[in-house]
Structure 1
Amino acid sequence: MKSICGIDCTNCEMSGTCNGCVATEGHPFGAECLVAQCCKKGKTALSELKEKLIAAFNALHIPDMEEVTELNALKGSLANIEYALPNGTVVKFWDDNKIYLGNQLQKKDSDRCYGIIADEKYLMVSEYSGYGTNAEIVVFKQWNDAENK
């Protein structure tokens, strides 16, 4: 399989379920890949988006969250935690088949983690225990206007 972003697909554990982003025009799992869409815009588009997102996450000044220095491509299903809303409804916010940018950061002096995830329009910070249990939304907001579309 050939990738648009230059990732070596042969080393990916999901290569058996992925159709390849070149063959699918940036929709390897049937939904949009944020990384592929950036790469189609030009050589610097992905690094520029990552820089803006890192700045947006760090500007939240969340207590006990490490500084964000890196974002990785994440398939939605790997980061799409269920959240219980105050009315008891359980929801997920992300598409399991899309590729987003995100990371996991250790909460300082705690066994809990912060999960960060974003697309070109929204970002989310959540806090959770191991394997996404007891998840709580810390921030979910629109972070970007139409300038990066």
Structure 2
Amino acid sequence: MEVREVLLKLRSNQNLTQDQMAERLHVTRQAVSRWETGETQPNTEMLKVISREFNVSINTLLGAPRQLFCQCCGMPLSEDSMISREPSGEFNEDYCKWCYTDGKFVYNDKSVLLDFLLSHMPNPDNTPDAERRAFFDKHLSQLKHWKQA
């Protein structure tokens, strides 16, 4: 989906006119119209304003051009409701809400997350825990949060 389509859908879902959306965003109705026709696109700062005002991630506003993954646990972030937030309320598209909440990481020690994964992830092949732990560790080590550690 293109940015123009996302913005039109967002406005329609909120039952807003272009004038009402413009008022909420402190822009002109013409600006909203140009976004929706694809003549122009909101700049980065305006995307942040739209994100805050309508509670939608910037990735979603851009038509979800990239698949987001939590950079702590590796879980796909397929819905905005799964994405973490900063204390200011802004989305932090790098992490899920279960690994990063209220501006703090839940898992500062990878072994704690590995223990959690071992106890909660299905094991239909009855793979030994040591082998599963090594597998999870290898994948976690490639994520941003654990590369920094």
What TM-score do the two structures reach when normalised by structure 2? 0.24
Give the number of the structure whose residues are more often helix, by fraction: 2
Q: Which has the larger radius of gyration?
A: 2
Give the number of the structure whose residues are more often strand, by fraction: 1
